[in-house]
Amino acid sequence: MAEIRFDGKVAIVTGAGGGLGRTHALLLAARGARVVVNDLGGATDGTGSGTTMADQVCKEIKDAGGEAVPDFNSVLEGEKVVKTAVDSFGTVDILVNNAGILRDISFMKQSDLDWKLVLDVHLNGSRNMTKAVFPIMREKGYGRIVMTTSGAGLYGNFGQTNYGAAKMGIVGLANVLKFEGAKYNIKVNTIAPIAGSRLTAQVMPPNLLEALKPEYVSPLVAYLCSEQCEETGMIFSVGGGYFSRVAYVEGEGVFLGTEKAISAEDIRANLDKIKDLSKATEQTQALDQSGKILKLMKIA
């Protein structure tokens, strides 16, 4: 099988000054991509900024014979980050939305700022970056976008309402962009990674941080960024050598009809059937849900 390469391709990796973004950027560059190493260079809670992190990763890439430029803008300034790519390399083919911060705190104690900053960097940042690259990708009829969600959003985690909501917002963004990009060969996929990084250093013991190397995640990102990738709208769980698809399924359910009024007691009596997922089927678009209901109602 032919080697997967990125010669002639331009990639932006956000938050690439450390952790997962750094290993994504190093791998793409090692396989021929010209990479914009974006990183605001701030602290894990979203405060501060600096140039050292992105500069350091660019140096690593260049020392290994690759091509990279740093970009120190916030992902909220998507247009500016994309301008760096266009000014330096002429275009953008690949966007990896990876930048992130944490402000973990129980919901009761969460400030409006804790909510806003996390939503801004993850959700609005991914949206603004994608909004800035989309016209370029649409014009050229080619694009590969990778979003980064989290188990905290997909499945829930104590103390992370801000982060969980932002990360599920990203899934919603990708769920719709998979349709809007389809005609233009823009593939939009999402990863839910687990890796040792300065973010997870806040919650993981040292042995796990060391074992769960970010390098285990990046090969999936590289595949999803490649021309060979035909997938779109997929979500993947990845970390420590493990790879799996995550999908939405809906149970067979129960149709109680509409001829007579349905009571709360009817719901209680049918709860086991309503919750049963043994005959669940995958849902890949909103019409899957409405179509099923209209069919049961014999309207469609």
Task: Give the residue numbers marked as catalytic.
Answer: 163
Q: Give the one residue of 12, 13, 20, 129 binding ligand NAI; rule: CB under 6 A.
A: 20
The sign of the CA dihedral 256, 258, 263, 264 is positive
Please, which residue, 50 or 251, has the CB nearer to ligand NAI?
Answer: 50
126 binds ligand NAI (CB under 6 A): no
19 binds ligand NAI (CB under 6 A): yes
199 binds ligand NAI (CB under 6 A): yes
Q: How far is the CB of 183 from ligand NAI (least distance, A)?
A: 28
Stretch that binds ligand NAI, among 4-12, 16-24, 60-68, 240-248 (CB under 6 A): 16-24
**What is the 3 state secondary structure string of the chain?**
CCCCCCCCCEEEECCCCCHHHHHHHHHHHHCCCEEEEECCCCCCCCCCCCCHHHHHHHHHHHHCCCEEEEECCCHHHHHHHHHHHHHHHCCCCEEECCCCCCCCCCHHHCCHHHHHHHHHHHHHHHHHHHHHHHHHHHHHCCEEEEEECCHHHHCCCCCCHHHHHHHHHHHHHHHHHHHHHHCCCEEEEEEEECCCCCCHHHCCCHHHHHHCCHHHCHHHHHHHCCCCCCCCCCEEEEECCEEEEECCEECCCCCCCCCCCCCHHHHHHHHHHHHCCCCCEECCCHHHHHHHHHHHCCCC
Please, which residue, 68 or 194, has the CB nearer to ligand NAI?
Answer: 194
Tell me the angle at which helices 125-140 and 78-89 cross, rounded to the nearest 10 degrees: 40
Q: How far is the CB of 132 from ligand NAI (least distance, A)?
A: 13
Q: Give the one residue of 10, 33, 53, 61 binding ligand NAI; rule: CB under 6 A.
A: 53
Other CB atoms within 10 A of residue 34 CB: 23
161 binds ligand NAI (CB under 6 A): no
Please, which residue, 121 or 136, has the CB nearer to ligand NAI?
Answer: 121
Q: Give the one residue of 128, 130, 148, 160 binding ligand NAI; rule: CB under 6 A.
A: 148
Q: How far is the CB of 19 from ligand NAI (least distance, A)?
A: 2
240 binds ligand NAI (CB under 6 A): no
224 binds ligand NAI (CB under 6 A): no
33 binds ligand NAI (CB under 6 A): no
Residue nearest to ligand NAI (CB): 19
The sign of the CA dihedral 59, 44, 217, 121 is negative
Stretch that binds ligand NAI, among 5-13, 88-96, 198-206, 264-272 (CB under 6 A): 198-206
Q: How far is the CB of 201 from ligand NAI (least distance, A)?
A: 9
Q: Give the one residue of 9, 11, 12, 15 binding ligand NAI; rule: CB under 6 A.
A: 15
66 binds ligand NAI (CB under 6 A): no
**Tokens representing 105?**
């705190």
Which residues of this chain interact with ligand NAI, rule CB under 6 A? Answer: 14-15, 17-21, 38-42, 44, 46, 53, 74-76, 98-101, 121, 125, 148, 150, 193-195, 197-200
